[in-house]
Every structure is written in C-alpha cells, then in structure tokens.
Amino acid sequence: MTAGRSGPPPVETRIVVHDDASAGSERIAAEDHWTGGGMAAVARNDAKDDLVQPAWTAGGSIARTVGRLYAAGADGNSGACTATVVGSRTVITAAHCVRTSVEGAPASAATWDNGLYFVPGYQNGTAPYGGFTVRRVRMAENWQKDGLDVAMLEMNPGRDGRNISEVTGVQPISFLAEPSGPAHFFGYPYTDRVLHCSGVTTWASGKTLLRFPCLMGMGSSGGPYISGDAAAEGTVVAVNINGDGKASYGTALGAFAQRLYQQSESS
C-alpha cells in the first residue's frame, strides 16, 4: 500500500514522540469528553449549507478513511482538523493540528494538544465508523519548517478491540510526491461533512510543498491531497497545511514522512 521516494534526498531531522492516551483511563476520558458534548460544541461553528467547496458524495474508500480529528489545546480551547487512515493503525495529519506554537519560541517549545479523537467518515454529527483515540504522536522536532509539517498518529484499538483499519480500510500512501495528473483535496473546513475539490498540483517552496488550486480554509488542515481516481482508491501524496488566498499548500510526503510511518506501523 506504500511506495518509497527516489527523488530529493532524505530530510535529516529528529523525530519526537509524544504519548497521548496510552493508558486505558486516558482513552476512556478522551472518548467520554468528545462523545459527551465536545464534538457538539465544535459543531456549533460548522457550516451546513454555505459550503466553500462541494461535498463529497461519491462514496468509495474516501467516505471511510477520511475523517475529523478533534483536539483540546493546553489553553482548554477545542478545535478540529482533517486526517486520513493510511496504515493498519496509522492516521496522517498536519503536525500543527496536534501541537500549538508559542509566540517567539522555537518549534520544540510548542505545547502538545491532548485528548486527540478521530472520527472517520464524520457527517452531520454522526460517527458511522465509531471514534478512535490516539496512543502516540510522531513528528519532527522542527516541525514548523517547510516540508516537515506532518504527523503520524498511532491509534488505539476501538472499544471492540479492532484496529482502525479493520473498520475503515486503508487509503494508500506514497512517499514519492510529484505533481502529475489529476489530484483531489478533501477536508472538513468547519463543515458538517467532508468537502472535495480537484485540480492539478505544482511544486512550491523548493519542492517541499505541493500547491493545490483550491481553497477550503481552517479545519481542512491535515486533509489529504490524493492522486489518481479518488472515487476508486487514490493515493495520499501530501497533507494540507495552509493557503494564501489563491491556493492551498500541502506538505509533500517524502523520506521523512516515510520514517514516521514506518515507526508508527512497526512499534
């Protein structure tokens, strides 16, 4: 389900690992928080009709593997990003979706969000495939650098003991990100359903980012850029991180993302 990069040389940087809900009591507390009103509180800000892009209605693996990632910041505020199931127990998102920078301080001083909770296929307040807590987060120490804003989340099994991939399936992932052919962008920009746009990607920021000719906005961070036929089984090649008013930009997946993925899947 994966492919390795043969293009630019590997990015050498230190991986940092953070335990989120590794104990059973922490898992229960996180799930109880989000299902007991936390998700509904975030949803109060969701757009339900005035959508910036069309909703995805073609089903397929996208409807199961792409979902909403909830997080509580150190300041107590809650928010949501987008994430995708890409391994037997691994979900990919943007690093800034799980860590909050401190103004004027280096990236390593950023605070960790907590109680992470992923709802694959989230739609209109429902969790058709259940919800999953996060055991461990892996990302770059200098995650704010272009090309490193990506995180792999090692998921806890669901309450029924099954790994997330047994419930949702897996979206293929490639670490050979290249602008080629049609691509698709999926995200939850504070909407009650996943949105979609298509286009052709181009390189940006010295081939560390992919530029996508589509805007979604806050909440779509971490959303996958997918090459190939999204209605079938397209491949994740980047994760969205920001936009500039004209286009969106995503971290292109290469050697460093592959290291994160391999550690998440083999631990």
Rounded CA-CA distance 219/98 in Å is 12
Q: Considering only CA atoms, give the Rg of the chain.
A: 17
Rounded CA-CA distance 124/120 in Å is 12
pLDDT at 181 over 90: no
Inter-CA distances, 212 with 99, 231, 238, Å:
24, 19, 10
- Find the mean pLDDT for residues 109-115: 94
Token representation of residue 65: 């593997």
Total-model pTM: 0.94
- The per-residue pLDDT of the chain, averaged, comes to 93
Tell which residue, 181, 115, 108, has the closest CA to residue 148. 108
- Identify the weakest region by mean pLDDT among 7-16, 69-78, 83-92: 7-16
Which residue stretches of the chain are H helix? 24-33, 39-43, 62-65, 164-168, 255-266
Split at pLDDT 50, 70, 90, the class of 9 is: very low
23, with CB counted inside 10 A (0-12, 13-18, 19+), is: exposed
pLDDT at 77 over 60: yes
Split at pLDDT 50, 70, 90, the class of 13 is: confident
